């Protein structure tokens, strides 16, 4: 009887061994692992720069074993622009939450996308401000109760949720835009594919890439981890549908495939 066992997963080299501070049931840790696995698979760790922002992800610079910069609230796209333009061979990614990106940093993300800056954004959407005690965010669902909307968000008072991917998809600059969910195993696998595609888009020099990840916040949603996962699948995806909105790398690959295909009569 052999005791040899096939290793299915290993600890990603691009993650440090620092214990994460996230709440039980939070899927920030899942997102970190997926990003780290992609960095390892693409062999880009030694030239990657992580941009940590303000929010629950504020300690991202401790979790990714790469060079890192701690950015001011919402300003990661501006910092990413500067680093990438000065050091174009680096792989730069910003890790941002919905309050950081879609509220305080809305101007920065829109203009960086419009310019087609060649960096990647990993955008965690949990529909609430997590670190600052659960206030309503730009992505909070209609009817969702938060500490600043105790009766539930209403459109007359607070407007409608902002769909970041759909908003950026109106611009000419982005090269890759996708939304996935960190809920069931199939969704998590699809999320990793999207993250890898975003980094590949940057490596190919095609421009701005963003992956929105529907994430959980059991603490401020007032749910158990399992209830939060179900909420992502049953409620958040209604407002934020899973989709790949743009993939210029696929279009480029399709053109190359067509050019290399044998012509008629050959």
Task: Please state the pTM of the whole predicted model.
Answer: 0.93
Neighbouring C-beta atoms of residue 15, cutoff 10 Å: 20
Residue with token string 């899973």: 242
Residue 120 lies in a domain: yes
Q: What is the pLDDT of residue 137?
A: 93
Pick from 209, 249, 244: which is nearest to 118 by CA?
209
Residue with token string 């790398």: 249
- pLDDT tens by residue, 60-81: 999 999 999 999 999 999 999 9
Q: What total of structural domains would you count in the chain?
A: 1
Cβ distance 91 to 48 under 8 Å? yes
Cβ distance 101 to 138 under 8 Å? no
Pick from 213, 139, 127: which is nearest to 178 by CA?
213
DSSP β-ladder status, 176-181 and 209-214? parallel
Q: What is the pLDDT of residue 123?
A: 97
Residue 225 lies in a domain: yes
Phi, psi of 87, deg, nearest 5: -125, 75
Domain enclosing residue 66, as ranges: 28-259
Q: What is the pLDDT of residue 253?
A: 81
Residue 119 lies in a domain: yes
Return the axis-axis angle of helices 248-260 and 185-203, rounded to nearest 10°.
70
Residue 19 lies in a domain: no
Residue 59 lies in a domain: yes
Q: What is the pLDDT of residue 260?
A: 67
Residue 45 lies in a domain: yes
Rg (CA), the chain: 19
Listed as ranges, residues in the chain with pLDDT below 50 are 265-266
Residue 2 lies in a domain: no
Tell me the CATH number at 113: 3.40.50.970
Q: What is the pLDDT of residue 1?
A: 55
Could you give the C-alpha distances from 258 to 175, 186, 263, in angstroms and in order?
20, 31, 9
Residue 157 lies in a domain: yes
Q: What is the pLDDT of residue 27?
A: 95
- pLDDT tens by residue, 188-216: 999 999 999 999 999 999 999 999 999 99
Could you give the C-alpha distances from 147 to 94, 103, 136, 140, 227, in angstroms and in order?
27, 17, 7, 12, 19
Q: In the chain, where does DSSP find H-type helix?
A: 28-42, 60-63, 76-86, 98-99, 106-115, 155-158, 164-168, 185-203, 218-221, 225-231, 237-239, 248-260
Beta pairing partners, 80? none
Burial of 215: CB neighbours in 10 Å, binned 0-12, 13-18, 19+: buried
């Amino acid at each position: 009887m052999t005791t040899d066992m096939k290793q299915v997963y290993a600890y990603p080299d691009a993650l440090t061994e620092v214990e994460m501070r996230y709440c039980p049931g939070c899927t920030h840790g899942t997102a970190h692992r997926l990003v780290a696995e992609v960095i390892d698979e693409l062999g880009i760790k030694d030239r990657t720069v992580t941009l940590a922002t303000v929010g629950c992800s504020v300690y991202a610079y401790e979790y990714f074993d790469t060079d890192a910069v701690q950015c001011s609230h919402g300003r990661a796209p501006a910092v990413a622009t500067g680093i990438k333009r000065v050091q174009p061979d680096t792989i730069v990614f910003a890790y941002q939450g919905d309050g950081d990106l879609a509220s305080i940093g809305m101007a920065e993300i829109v203009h960086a996308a419009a310019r087609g800056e060649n960096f990647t954004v990993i955008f965690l959407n949990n529909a609430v401000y997590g670190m600052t005690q659960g206030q309503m965010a730009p992505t909070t669902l209609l009817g969702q109760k938060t500490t600043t909307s105790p009766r539930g968000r209403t459109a007359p008072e607070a407007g409608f949720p902002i769909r970041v991917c759909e908003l950026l998809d109106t611009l000419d600059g982005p090269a890759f835009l996708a939304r996935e969910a960190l809920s069931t195993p199939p969704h998590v696998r699809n999320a990793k594919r999207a993250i890898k595609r975003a980094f590949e888009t940057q490596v190919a020099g095609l421009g701005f890439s963003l992956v929105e990840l529907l994430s959980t916040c059991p603490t401020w949603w007032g749910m158990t981890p399992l209830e939060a996962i179900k909420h992502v699948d049953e409620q958040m995806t209604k407002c934020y549908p899973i989709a790949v909105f743009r993939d210029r790398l696929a279009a480029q690959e399709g053109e190359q495939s067509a050019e290399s295909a044998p012509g008629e009569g050959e």
